Amino acid sequence: MLTGKRILLIISGGIAAYKSLELIRGLKKSGASVRCIVTQGGQQFVTPLSVAALAEEQVFTDLFSLKDESEMGHIRLSREADLVVVAPASANIMAQMAHGLTEDLASTTLLATNRPVMICPAMNPMMWQHDATQDNLKTLQSRGINIIAPADGDMACGEVGTGRMREPEEILTAITAYFQDNRPLAGLSALVTSGPTYEPIDPVRFIGNRSSGKQGHAIAAALKSAGAAVTLVTGPVNLPAPQGVKTISVQTAQEMLKACENALPCDIAICAAAVSDWRVKKAADQKIKKGADKSAPTLEFIENPDILQTIATHKNRPALVVGFAAETENLIENAQAKLTKKSCDWIIANNVGDHDIFGQDQNHVSLITTEKVTDWPPANKEAIARDIVEEIIHHFVNLKMIEAAE
Ligand code: CTP
């Protein structure tokens, strides 16, 4: 099932390290090759010799080992894998990853890698629940790290709670699923904008809108499940970062534009954010007070950059650029005009005139391309996201950038 897959397994310190030996056996049996790094802490629980015997490969332990570095530099080690798995992932290695520390071979490799990473946390329940660990977990999730959440149960330390590393078979199933998922967009990268932008008036007030980010986040998640490497740039929303999606949070349109430009080049861009068209020309440094005469302040606005248009006319323009159009009248005509004006390839148009779609789970859209207009039946935002991704897959098959499914 994993024939030809190269796994780099990092074993950090924790009693659950003994389970990693079983994991190595399972991975090897499934056809994967397994290269291992064992940290100093990990070596307190399993010996490099037993790891090497099971992996049938040299085991790496030291960053400054002349022997290790001459045989395989740590940068090469970090790049020559289809998946990097950290099992067990101690609270310490999670903290090192979250903060970009490079204290040993394992943490340096994790900072240097450009490969997907999966972590299998294992620790005492209090350590797992601690705000520090939970904050680190959120950071890692938002960077697109795959998390195999720990299980509940009796701990080796005698306490009961959440913190047990998943059993080797469960981890093997997750790794197999990771590779077996229907991943037609594997190898392509996508940028998605989502949510509103907040434009400051003064330190406590802003201009925003009621976009929930549900549609944009659902599209990012659907692209991710189809195998794309996804960067989600989101304004302030009340939604978790989708699993495995690199998520960048911004406030203003200008910040959103900068984050998007940093994410180029990529193959697909979908602008689902409700970007504020204007911002206050000069936000006040101090809270604006009521004047003695009770007169209302006058705000001077200037136009925000158009992110969709900037991406669609960029020198690193993605092969497919998709915008949204929320219209209250003349849906198709207005959306077609937007398609031309913003130089994008498709517009997903929704009529917001007769019902309020902001914050709702349902949506009703039409797909507008230069060739055709297709009205889709109303559906929830996840289903619409999957339909959009289906269209994208067809498009890239036609462009011969990916292969059709058998
Ligand atoms: N958009 C953008 N940057 C802006 C404004 C809009 O990227 N500054 C994108 C939105 O993400 C969406 C598309 O442009 O994909 C259309 O947004 P919409 O608000 O419908 O159109 P506007 O350009 O703002 O035009 P109008 O409000 O006049 O209809």
Instruction: Tell how far the Cα of 245 is from the centroid of ligand 1, in angstroms.
Output: 24
Question: Are 110 and 46 within one domain?
Answer: yes
Question: Are 257 and 295 within one domain?
Answer: yes
Strand (E) or helix (H) holding 269: strand 268-271
**Mean per-residue pLDDT, 106-118:** 92
Question: Atom 17, ligand 1: which residue's CA is nearest?
Answer: 325
Residue 345 lies in a domain: yes
**Mean per-residue pLDDT, 289-297:** 82
User: Which has the closest alpha carbon to 336: 317, 344, 377, 378?
Assistant: 344
| Domain boundary residue, one of 181, 198, 231 | 181
Question: Are 29 and 177 within one domain?
Answer: yes
Instruction: Indicate which CATH number applies to the domain containing 17.
Output: 3.40.50.1950
Mean pLDDT lowest for which of 59-73, 166-180, 252-266, 335-349? Answer: 59-73
Name every residue whose Cβ is closer than 8 Å to that of residue 392 and which is 6 or more positions away in sequence: 185, 223, 226, 268, 320
Instruction: Tell how far the Cα of 189 is from the centroid of ligand 1, in angstroms.
Output: 23
262 burial class (0-12, 13-18, 19+ CB within 10 angstroms)? exposed
* Whether the model pTM is above 0.85: no
Mean pLDDT lowest for which of 17-21, 95-99, 157-161? Answer: 157-161
- Report helix, strand or coil for 230: strand
Res 356: pLDDT? 59
Question: Are 101 and 175 within one domain?
Answer: yes
56 to each of 48, 59, 85, 178, 318, how far by Cα in Å?
11, 9, 17, 24, 43
**Mean per-residue pLDDT, 77-82:** 86
Q: pLDDT tier at 278 (50, 70, 90 boundaries)?
A: very high
Residue 370: pLDDT above 80? Answer: yes
- Report helix, strand or coil for 376: coil
Instruction: Tell how far the Cα of 352 is from the centroid of ligand 1, in angstroms.
Output: 14
Pairing of strands 151-154, 59-60: unpaired
CB of 304 closer than 6 angstroms to any ligand 1 atom: yes
Instruction: Tell how far the Cα of 272 is from the centroid of ligand 1, in angstroms.
Output: 9
CB of 346 closer than 6 angstroms to any ligand 1 atom: no
Question: Are 277 and 325 within one domain?
Answer: yes
- Report the residue among 255, 270, 275 best suited for mutation to probe ligand 1: largest number of ligand atoms under 8 A from its CB: 275
**Mean per-residue pLDDT, 71-85:** 84
Residue 403 lies in a domain: no
Residue 406 lies in a domain: no
**Mean per-residue pLDDT, 50-57:** 96
Question: Are 219 and 327 within one domain?
Answer: yes
Question: Atom 18, ligand 1: which residue's CA is nearest?
Answer: 325
Task: Note the pLDDT tens digit of each residue in 131-152.
Answer: 999 999 999 998 889 999 999 9
Distance CA 61, CA 82 (A): 20
Question: Are 133 and 206 within one domain?
Answer: no
339 burial class (0-12, 13-18, 19+ CB within 10 angstroms)? buried
CB of 306 closer than 6 angstroms to any ligand 1 atom: yes
Sign of CA dihedral 390, 393, 394, 395: positive
CB of 311 closer than 6 angstroms to any ligand 1 atom: no
Task: Note the pLDDT tens digit of each residue in 208-226.
Answer: 999 999 999 999 999 998 9
% pLDDT > 90, the chain: 73
Instruction: Indicate which CATH number applies to the domain containing 220.
Output: 3.40.50.10300
120 to each of 132, 147, 164, 238, how far by Cα in Å?
17, 6, 9, 26
Res 181: pLDDT? 66
CB of 273 closer than 6 angstroms to any ligand 1 atom: yes
Q: Domain range holding 378? A: 189-398
CB of 325 closer than 6 angstroms to any ligand 1 atom: yes
Residue 231 lies in a domain: yes
Report cis status (omega within 30 of 0) of the bond before 150: no
Instruction: Tell how far the Cα of 274 is from the centroid of ligand 1, in angstroms.
Output: 7
Residue 76 lies in a domain: yes
Domain count, the chain: 2
Q: pLDDT tier at 293 (50, 70, 90 boundaries)?
A: confident
Instruction: Tell how far the Cα of 325 is from the centroid of ligand 1, in angstroms.
Output: 7
- Report helix, strand or coil for 323: strand
Residue 329 lies in a domain: yes
Residue 357: pLDDT above 70? Answer: no
Question: Are 233 and 359 within one domain?
Answer: yes
Question: What is the residue whose two structure tokens read 């007769």?
Answer: 354
Q: How many CA atoms lie within 13 A of 18 on its CB side?
A: 4
Residue 26 lies in a domain: yes
- 347 close to 328: Cβ distance less than 8 angstroms: no
Res 358: pLDDT? 64
Q: pLDDT tier at 31 (50, 70, 90 boundaries)?
A: very high
Question: Are 217 and 303 within one domain?
Answer: yes
- Report helix, strand or coil for 79: helix
| Catalytic annotation, residues | 157
Question: Are 230 and 149 within one domain?
Answer: no
- Report the residue among 257, 276, 277 best suited for mutation to probe ligand 1: largest number of ligand atoms under 8 A from its CB: 277
Q: pLDDT tier at 229 (50, 70, 90 boundaries)?
A: very high
Phi, psi of 150 (to 5 degrees): -70, 160
- 35 close to 105: Cβ distance less than 8 angstroms: no
- 273 close to 211: Cβ distance less than 8 angstroms: yes
Token output for 151: 């299980």
Question: Atom 28, ligand 1: which residue's CA is nearest?
Answer: 277
Name every residue whose Cβ is closer than 8 Å to that of residue 164 and which is 6 or more positions away in sequence: 16, 122, 150, 151, 152, 153, 154, 155
Report which ligand 1 atom has the smallest distance to the Cα of 308. 7
